[in-house]
Structure 1
C-alpha cells in the first residue's frame, strides 16, 4: 500500500511539535516554504526559539508569507517569413517557429506584417507544450510585391520539469528524488532527466 506523502508530513510535523510544545512549533509545511527544502518535505526542523525578530519580518501570528514562483518571459524564436513576389493574390498557411528547448514550454506568440500583403497567427502547430511552432495565415498581395511576416514566440520555464531540480522538488510541486517513485509524485521527466 502506498503511503500518502502529505499524511507522512503531518505525522512527522505533529511528532516534532509535541517535543517543542513549550518552545513553540513554527515548522512551515507548504506555503512560503522553499520547494524541496527539508521542512517542505515534512521533516520539521527545530529552529532557534530565542532568535530575535527584526523589523519588517513576519511574526508567528501574522500568517503565511505569500511567495510566488517568478516566471521570466524568454524569447524562443524571432524571425521573418518573407512572402509575395507573385503576379496574383493568394492566401495560404505555413508553419514557422522552433523547438522550445529542454526545461521550457511555450508561453505566447505575436505575429505582424510589414510591407504588402498580410499575415496572422492562427494557433500552435501541435498540442506538445515544448513545440514552439505556430501555424500562420499568409496573404500575398499580388503584383510582384513582397511582405514580411514577423513572428515572436516566447517561452517560459517548465515548472513541472526536473531539469535543474534533481534530488529535490520542481517549482510546480512534483518531485525529482528517489522517494518520488514510492510516493507516486515524480515529475513526468524524472526518469530521463535524473
Structure 2
C-alpha cells in the first residue's frame, strides 16, 4: 500500500480481508477498528525523541482510540533499553506518551514485526497487527472485546518456597517501594517453547522477548 507523504494512520475497511489460519492470526478480538500504519513515517516523526526522564520536550503524535476517534499524546523515548541493546537491535523502538486532555497514557513499540501498543487510563485499549503476515494493518480494540480461549490454564511450577519459613521483610526493604523513586533493574527472561512458537517468524534478530517486555514498561 502507498501512503500519503507524512501520513501515519489511514482508515482501512475490513471488507476483502484475506482468509488466514489461526497461526497467522492468533489475536481475534470480537470488535475492533482497523487502520493502516506507516511505521517509517512514525519513526521519522519521533526521530530525536528524548528520554521520558530527561526533562526535555515531548513530541505530539495522534493515535487512534477507537470509534474513528484520535487522541494527541505527548511522546518520549521510553528509555527501556540500555545502550548496548539499542546498538544490537537498532530496529526496535520503544516509546511512552501521555494525553494532555485525559488520563490516558500510551506505551508502544515499533519493530520489524510491526507496531504494538497499549493505552491505559479511562479504559484499556490494545493496538496489535491484524495478523503476522499483515504487520502494518493495526487493530485497535478494548480489552473487554478480547476473545479468550476456553482452554484452562494450569501452572506447573513447583511450590518450592514455604511461606511459613520466609524471612520477614525489613522496614528498609519496604521503604524502597514507598519512596516513589525511579530505579533501573536488570531482568532475565526465560521463555517456554509455547511462547516462542507463538511469536516465531524465523527471524531471531527481532528480539521478541524484548518487544513484549518493552510493551509492559
TM over 0.5: no
Q: Which protein is bigger by CA-based radius of gyration?
A: 1
More helix by share: 2
TM-score by length of 1: 0.21
